[in-house]
Chains A and B, each alone.
Chain A
């Protein structure tokens, strides 16, 4: 089986590694990494089991003064603009499977390529195995409370893999991979008058944090969330939030913990005022120890945690800070 793994240069190494781990489960004959735009940094992928790189750049976008740096930042390019190029590559190189990481770019791209490729497409895949009839894949359903199982019966198999679903240490291949640069004329979108990045968000790196303190709706206010931020910092950890806390404007979206945000696996997760909904638990259920503080003794979170405290989370946070500072 020949597999293409598609990523943006801005995807971090661990995300590419997760894609390669997923690819390795399909016992590939060859794996290609297709990179869309940006600057190609081959060193980043050293020792990864990749047979060939294909770097897709925009023909109209090559700056003659600064080789390899695009004039139009990829950040403002819509995913749709890359679709024809990926479609052409899929048709020309005929991979049996194309894998994307299920961030916003990958989830959309997988659905679009799946629409036209004539095979089968499943997004947000958390497990994969090869059978005689095709691929067996699983993914979250029912608000991440259940897992649905599917058989993909026709190649090419187009998948996007769920965040954090695969570990990031696939086998190492040492042969030097081939490199191809494909200059495509990207079809610039004609439907919008202007497009600009209103606010660039520096990614909040949470995947390596040993402690994560999560603010839920029960935190009650922005002020209390700031207390939780100080608690997280005192424990040498990071602060995250549930969807209600983000929607209430207490935290930016980049701090969202859950299936549609950050998927984390800290040694200690302190869930403060969190109810324990399925999508949230999907983001933390690989944590070492989960501690929940909630003033509702019947809160769902107490079914999924190791240590529970029934009390107001702001009181417990204040007391913990006092203990730590003393």
Chain B
């Protein structure tokens, strides 16, 4: 591994725990129900945050300096999120706040991140890697990382499962349509890595001591207009949301025990399927 320092920017999104919403709440209140749910970090973004830490661990073990920045665009971060990120050794946590509706504007999010990267590159040096999640709920856009890579003019590896350094560069394992790809990004080349179903999906848990030390650090808050002065127009108009999921009338199978229930269940299977077994 080369002796220079490693700089990683991890982009993540504050989202809501949609699993807490019942089917009835979705039907009755649609997106309004979401605002009552607890805030969380998108699941793929969480994998990206953890991968950056693992790469930092490897760099430090090899005698390099590592600098990790966590960046979130849109909603305000919770104190718990900020404290957790500092506690697991993120160097800085940046929250770009925006009053506009960004749910379906991956182009704007990519533009804001691009502007942040350019500004940081001028002031503090360029990031070696930019990590993102493949997709975050609410918008489900799955485009920000690609648009960012286009904007930066650097490659993007999608559906990343894992990555680690070897003698030649960063070895990246990713999922493609036909299997699992392994490629080495040579030292000195920058890239965007978008995390998919990762080998290490969850952010590590900090110790109590790490949490206490982190409580003294504070998030850097930036208004989006300071990075992108004019909110970009779009050729796509968002017209609204609807709920198309149809609930089914569940008939519960009763029984004294699993054996009875299984028998009743088997009897309920279509006859043609039962015929397959004879």
A180-225 residues with Cβ-Cβ distance < 8 A to B are: 189, 191-201, 203, 210-211
A320 in contact (CB, < 8 A)? yes
A49-87 contact mask (Cβ, 8 Å, vs B): 1 or 0: 000000000000000000000000001101110000000
Q: How far is the CA of A285 from the CA of B205 in the complex (A)?
A: 36
Whether a CB of chain B sits under 8 angstroms from the CB of A27 is no
0/1 string, B251-278, CB within 8 A of A gives 1:
1110000110111011011101100110
The answer, yes or no, to whether B208 is at the interface (CB within 8 Å) is no
| CB-based contact B180/A197 at 8 Å | yes
| CB-defined contacts of A146 to chain B, threshold 8 Å | 26, 30-31, 241-244
Binding site for A on B (CB under 8 A): 18-19, 21-24, 26, 30-31, 34, 103-104, 135, 137-143, 146-147, 150, 154-159, 168-169, 173, 175-186, 189, 191, 197, 201, 234-253, 258-259, 261-263, 265-266, 268-270, 272-273, 276-277
Sample of 6 A–B contacts (CB below 8 Å): A123-B141, A147-B241, A193-B185, A194-B183, A285-B246, A307-B250
* Closest 9 pairs between A and B when the two form their complex, measured CB to CB: A319-B262, A315-B258, A236-B276, A303-B23, A120-B235, A143-B137, A195-B183, A154-B235, A111-B146
* A120-B235, A146-B242, A193-B168 given; A235·B177 CB < 8 A: no
Partner of B262 from the list A105, A290, A316 (CB cut-off 8 Å) is A316
Contact at A107–B236, with CB atoms within 8 Å?
no
Task: Select one of A107, A153, A268 contacting B235, CB under 8 A.
Answer: A153
A-side residues, CB < 8 A to B, are: 8, 10, 75-76, 78-80, 103-105, 107-108, 111-112, 115-116, 119-124, 136, 139-154, 189, 191-201, 203, 210-211, 234-236, 243, 246-247, 253, 256, 260, 267-268, 275, 277-278, 281, 285, 288-293, 300, 302-312, 315-316, 318-320, 322-324
Q: Let me know if A235 and B250 touch, CB within 8 A.
A: no
Given A122-B236, A142-B31, A267-B273, A319:B176 Cβ within 8 A: no
Query: In the assembly, what is the distance between CA of A153 and CA of B237, in Å?
Result: 8
The main secondary structure of chain A at its interface with chain B is mixed
B159 adjacent to A124 (CB under 8 Å): no
Shortest distance from the beta carbon of A283 to any chain B beta carbon, whole Å: 13
Query: Chain B contacts of A320 at CB under 8 A?
Result: 262, 265-266
Residues of B within 8 A of A154 (CB): 235
CB distance from A139 to the nearest CB of B (A): 8
Residues of the A chain whose Cβ atoms lie less than 8 Å from the Cβ of B245: 145, 278, 281, 285, 304
A107 and B142 within 8 A (CB) = yes
Q: A146-B241, A285-B245, A304-B245 are in contact. Are A189 and B155 (CB under 8 A)?
A: yes
User: B44 → chain A, closest Cβ, in Å?
Assistant: 10
Q: Which residue of B lies closest to A292 (CB)?
A: B250
Contact assessment for B185 and A300 in the assembled complex, using a CB-CB cutoff below 8 Å: no
Instruction: Determine whether the beta carbon of A308 is less than 8 Å from that of B252.
Output: yes
A297 to chain B, nearest CB (A): 8
User: A149-B240, A192-B185 known; A302 and B258 CB under 8 Å?
Assistant: no
User: In the bound complex, what is the Cα–Cα distance between A236 and B137 (angstroms)?
Assistant: 35
Give Cα distance in the complex from A208 to B12, angstroms.
38
Q: When the two chains form their complex, are residues B150 and A210 in contact, meaning their CB atoms are under 8 A apart? A: no
Give Cα distance in the complex from A80 to B183, angstroms: 14
Shortest Cβ distance from A145 into chain B, in angstroms?
5
User: Shortest Cβ distance from A17 into chain B, in angstroms?
Assistant: 18
Tell me if B262 and A323 are in contact (CB < 8 A).
yes
The docked-state distance in angstroms from the alpha carbon of A269 to that of B26 is 23
Q: Chain B contacts of A112 at CB under 8 A?
A: 146, 150
Beyond A148-B104, A235-B273, A307-B265, 11 additional contacts (C-beta under 8 Å) are A123-B143, A146-B30, A150-B239, A153-B236, A191-B155, A210-B272, A253-B175, A268-B270, A277-B18, A292-B250, A324-B277
